[in-house]
Amino acid sequence: MNTGRSRRVILVALTAALLGTIVSTSPESRVLMPPRVDTSAAGEFVWHDLVTHDPAASRAFYAALFGWTFEEADGIDPGYTIITHGGRPIGGIVLLQPRNGEEIVAQWLSYVAVSDVDRVTKVFQQAGGRVFRGPLNARKDLRVAVVADAQGAPLGLASRGPRLEAETPPGLHHWLWREYVARDPAAALTFYREALGFEHEVHETRENFTYYLLATDQPRAGLFLSPWKHERSVWLPYVRVADPDASAARAVELGGTILLQPRPEVRGGSLAIVLDPTGAPLALQKYPFDGGRQ
């Protein structure tokens, strides 16, 4: 799938329903987390890697949009960059190069903490998913793997990581939430209960739409049916912003694309979804959900 078609497909899907997105590349290689970590609970999302063919363009975009800063990662795979904000590491940038003529479409790869990386990796594999990397020891006390479920949604697994969810709510321009956009919600709900211990409950229903909350000791993510049936499922990360209209407009000024413009019928106009200049989708969410502007 080429990048131009990917952008058009995502745009059609997002304008047809609440939101939706696609991933059309393998997230393997160079996806390791930094050494600065705290104790994290199983089921907690602990890291996000931007996998992209153009790290320089990505750094410029996110520095201008969110004020993120970047540090070269000593001792991690060559070219890996750690993203920092407010004095703490919150993610990384990974250079991914095409293989065998494959065209790369950028994406954010979310990592979740699990009690046994090896066991959970086998669960993904035995359920019809894929293992892109690992399990391996990224550090002496850090074990990781990169997998995809049977619906094609990539996910990172880690034995521990920074407590990105420790601050409630997180500050502006920090990670706020994540959602699983599913080809088959019922199968995903069953699988993630077995694989990650995510229990679920119906949080919202309306015509042709059901929104589920996934939880362990607390809510961890949302899940709903993707409106685009022919693409893979995906984990979509959210960043907290003060004004989604202004943030989306700024993203366009910086070379990005608006996929979902804030509008009243979607969370009171508090949500925007954009592609960064390298094609990675990201949700921009005002919180609390009381409208798009302060």
Residue-level pLDDT at 102: 58
Chain centroid offset of residue 71 CA: 21
Buried b (16+ CB within 10 A) or exposed e, 244-276: bbebbbbbeebebbbbbbbeeebbebbbbbbbb
**249/138: higher pLDDT:** 249
Mean pLDDT, the chain, whole residue set: 81
CA-CA-CA-CA dihedral for 9, 225, 283, 84, to nearest 10: -110
Angstrom CA distances, 199 to 47, 54, 115, 189, stand at: 21, 37, 17, 8
Instruction: Give strand pairing partners of 209.
Output: 206
Residue-level pLDDT at 105: 72
Residue-level pLDDT at 249: 97
Instruction: Give strand pairing partners of 251.
Output: none
pLDDT at residue 94 greater than cutoff 60: yes
6-65 pLDDT, tens digit per residue, is 333 332 223 222 332 223 233 333 334 444 445 668 889 999 999 999 999 999 999 999
pLDDT band at 104 (very low <50, low <70, confident <90, very high): low
Return the CA Rg of the chain. Answer: 18
The token duo for 225 is: 């049916």
pTM over 0.85: no
pLDDT band at 1 (very low <50, low <70, confident <90, very high): very low
pLDDT at residue 293 greater than cutoff 50: no
Poorest-pLDDT segment among 81-95, 110-124, 219-233? 219-233
239-279 pLDDT, tens digit per residue, is 999 999 999 999 999 999 998 899 888 888 999 999 999 99
Q: Among 115-124, 157-166, 205-214, 216-225, name the most confident range.
A: 115-124
Phi, psi of 15 (to 5 degrees): -80, -10
Instruction: Give strand pairing partners of 118.
Output: none
166-220 pLDDT, tens digit per residue, is 566 889 999 999 999 999 999 999 999 999 999 999 988 877 789 999 999 889 9
Name which of 153, 149, 119 is nearest 134 in CA terms: 119
Sketch out the chain's domains with CATH numbers: 3-22+171-285 (3.10.180.10), 45-158 (3.10.180.10)
Provide CB contacts within 8 A for 80, sequence distance 6+: 30, 32, 72, 73, 92, 93, 94, 95
C-alpha span between 253 and 247 (Å, rounded): 10
C-alpha span between 91 and 260 (Å, rounded): 24
